[in-house]
């Protein structure tokens, strides 16, 4: 049986949205693109997709990324290659934001680069579940409009973050899951892997592999229009049960952006879901006027960090230029760049 979405189904669910050939979305978007190439990426040049927004109204821009969190000291975390990849992603993001690219474009491009690297627990490098196959989750959100899209438990989409963007831009919905969700998204142009098993990295020695430079990834950006965006992508927690979905595709648990702040999380997703963690941080900033760092530390350390078996971290930026990293303990791989600050990559030690 064909797994492609049938035309009548697409017509009913996606009234008014024209389908594009399968595979067109990801073409040209798999590596860190040159600025000009990225601006013309099929992900944003499809007739039905909004035109890319280039804006140079303000001189200020920020990009912060994370490559996951391990929670305890580990000699192999993070390995040199992941650090270097993070630095290159920040370099690229700086060029793009300086040239006026949208926060959304830069967040998505940053995450695509992590996904395609095979060096993080996202896209190609995703952990397998306990049944021995890979299920990926991702989400994206634009702060100025609240537009968001997400995918969960995807088994054959090459770039989950591009699929999440597709949900946001090409459907009236927010979250697509499982095989039926994949069928719809492939019908809309998401790139399907012909042989997922051979694409995802084999986990030959699971215990030895654990924490070996592999973490969930996320990005938050402020563009020169003053718009914030956030995104997160993962293969989920190590040794998860088949069908388990964590926080990464849940708007307000992991990814969140509004007009003031943009956030992305990593860690034990169940706790972030139960606490609606990133939404809680943003709400404290909005309603209680709590400084971003204080709100983040309260939710991450005092609420999430005190629960048994809980651990995790967030990256956050604000429209007024704050950059915040908060974690329950050692090991958040993170980096940032601004109009004034060269790319900086570090591991958070407390």
- Minimum CB distance to ligand ASP smaller for 97 or for 111: 111
Q: CA 128 to CA 236: how far, in whole Å? A: 9
Least distance CB 228 / ligand ASP (angstroms): 21
Least distance CB 97 / ligand ASP (angstroms): 25
Contact positions toward ligand ASP, by CB under 6 A?
A: 68, 215-216, 234, 236-237, 246-248, 266-267, 269
Q: Which single residue is written with the structure tokens 């395609």?
A: 116
- Minimum CB distance to ligand ASP smaller for 139 or for 237: 237
- Minimum CB distance to ligand ASP smaller for 227 or for 333: 333
- Minimum CB distance to ligand ASP smaller for 66 or for 224: 66
Least distance CB 174 / ligand ASP (angstroms): 18
CA geometry: angle 141, 142, 145, nearest 5 deg: 120
| SS3 call for 174 | coil
Q: How many CB atoms lie within 10 A of CB 18?
A: 11
The full length of the chain comes to 350
- Minimum CB distance to ligand ASP smaller for 215 or for 305: 215
Q: Decide: residue 97, CB within 10 A, 0-12 exposed, 13-18 middle, 19+ buried.
A: buried
Least distance CB 70 / ligand ASP (angstroms): 9
Instruction: Quote the tokens at residue 86.
Output: 């993070």
Instruction: Quote the tokens at residue 260.
Output: 């003031």
Q: CA 191 to CA 257: how far, in whole Å? A: 26
Instruction: Quote the tokens at residue 206.
Output: 């699971």
Least distance CB 244 / ligand ASP (angstroms): 8
Q: Which residues are catalytic?
A: 216
Q: CA 332 to CA 77: how far, in whole Å? A: 10
Prior bond to 78 cis, omega within 30?
yes
């Amino acid at each position: 049986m064909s797994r492609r979405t049938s035309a009548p189904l697409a017509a009913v669910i996606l009234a008014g949205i024209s389908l594009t050939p399968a595979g067109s979305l990801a073409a040209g978007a798999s590596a860190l693109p040159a600025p000009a190439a990225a601006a013309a990426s099929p992900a944003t040049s499809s007739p039905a997709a909004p035109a890319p927004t280039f804006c140079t109204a303000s001189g200020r821009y920020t990009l912060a990324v994370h490559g996951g969190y391990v929670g305890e000291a580990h000699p192999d975390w993070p390995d040199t290659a992941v650090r270097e990849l993070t630095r290159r992603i920040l370099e690229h993001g700086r060029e793009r934001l300086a040239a006026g690219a949208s926060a959304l474009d830069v967040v998505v491009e940053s995450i695509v680069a992590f996904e395609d690297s095979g060096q993080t627990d996202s896209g190609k490098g995703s952990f397998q579940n306990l049944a021995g196959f890979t299920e990926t989750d991702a989400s994206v959100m634009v702060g100025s409009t609240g537009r968001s899209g997400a995918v969960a438990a995807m088994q054959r989409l090459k770039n989950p973050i591009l699929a999440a963007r597709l949900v946001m831009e090409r459907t009236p919905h927010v979250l697509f899951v499982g095989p039926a969700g994949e069928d719809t998204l492939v019908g809309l142009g998401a790139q399907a892997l012909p042989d997922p098993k051979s694409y995802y990295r084999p986990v030959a020695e699971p215990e030895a592999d654990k924490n070996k430079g592999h973490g969930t990834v996320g990005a938050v950006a402020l563009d020169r229009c003053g718009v914030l965006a956030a995104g997160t992508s993962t293969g989920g927690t190590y040794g998860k049960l088949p069908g388990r979905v964590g926080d990464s595709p849940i708007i307000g648990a992991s990814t969140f952006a509004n007009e003031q702040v943009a956030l992305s999380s990593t860690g034990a997703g169940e706790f972030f879901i139960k606490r609606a963690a990133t939404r809680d941080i943003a709400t404290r900033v909005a309603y209680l006027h709590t400084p971003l760092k204080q709100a983040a530390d309260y939710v991450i350390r005092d609420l999430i960090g005190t629960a048994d078996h809980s651990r995790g971290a967030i990256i956050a930026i604000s429209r007024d230029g704050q950059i915040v990293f908060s974690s329950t303990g050692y090991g958040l791989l993170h980096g940032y760049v601004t109009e004034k600050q060269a790319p900086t990559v570090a591991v958070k030690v407390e």
